Amino acid sequence: MTEPKNDVQNQFEQRDPLTQYPQPPFPRQPQEAPGLTSAMQPLPDHGEQSYQGFGRLQGRRALITGGDSGIGRAVAIAYAREGADVAINYLPEEESDAQEVVRLIEAAGRRAVALPGDLREREFCDDLVARTVSELGGLDILVVNAGKQVSRDAIADITDQQFDDTMKVNVYAMFWLCRAAVPHLEPGASIVVTSSIQASKPSKNLLDYAATKAAEVAFAQALSGQLADKGIRVNAVAPGPVWTPLQPSGGQPQSKVQQFGESVPLGRPGQPAELASVYVLLASQESSYITGAVIPVTGGTLF
């Protein structure tokens, strides 16, 4: 796989955000779900060549769902370069992307644990947390990031199976993972949930997905109240349109993929690398007074 060409110094160089990354139109690129990073045109930037760490997560142990691609991949790279050992979860079909992430984590000198499996299954979610704790010697950061998104124009087109799968991946798994993780978390630990701009500005073709994203915000805020007196912080990130395999593999119609991100004020989709620093902030001691927050990263669209 060819990695995006970003010089290291460019992480801090002042640039015009309008032209910093590719703008639509993009080529048609249908994929079968769950989709692979390596098949995208242009390739997303996850910070492979640009992200520099400063030890802000030194010695921490993190579990990231959906860590093979997209936002999860960018977060895994950033966490490793900030000094954390990282376990990533993904579907078995995404093994090739996941192994790229493992290589990048290990290149940062940190331990990588690859844990494929289906988040729709409660037993697997419980086991995922238990195996992370066993492999890494504990758990300090849980990033609930994996999501299911399928575009449908009409409610009649949403099958019971699709609705059930979307709810299980986006909501049930979040509940199962947090319930399993909390007993292992010490004061100073952090949970970060990936919600979406869809929580507050739902698109008509993403009915079930938008409903789950709103649920994620409410869940994170309620859980933050439960865990505050334990010194455990819970926050959510609400991305706008981000260039990930979720979009061409059924998350959007191909016509929207070709024009993806053009409607936001910055006129383009975000790249996963542009979100990584927010996840680092929320996991680090720099955000010690932030809990129950929703951080929008939307290209200018108001949350």
| 64 neighbors 88 (Cβ within 8 angstroms) | yes
Other CB atoms within 10 A of residue 89 CB: 31
Among the listed residues 212, 200, 205, the one whose alpha carbon sits nearest the alpha carbon of residue 255: 205
CA-CA distances (angstroms) from residue 120 to 27, 89, 117, 150, 167? 32, 13, 9, 16, 9
The residue type found at 293 is: A
The structure tokens 């999501």 sit at 147
Maximum pairwise Cα distance, the chain:
50
For residues 80 and 230, give the distance between their C-alpha atoms in angstroms, rounded to a whole number. Answer: 26
Percent of residues in the chain assigned helix, strand, coil, to nearest 5: 45, 15, 45
Q: Is 289 a catalytic residue?
A: no
For residues 173 and 56, give the distance between their C-alpha atoms in angstroms, rounded to a whole number. Answer: 28
180 sits in which H/E element = helix 173-181
For residues 195 and 197, give the distance between their C-alpha atoms in angstroms, rounded to a whole number. Answer: 7
Task: Spot the catalytic one: 79, 209, 279, 289.
Answer: 209
Backbone angles phi, psi at 173, to 5 degrees: -60, -40
Buried b (16+ CB within 10 A) or exposed e, 124-137: bbeebbebbbebbe
Q: List, by residue number, the catalytic residues.
A: 209
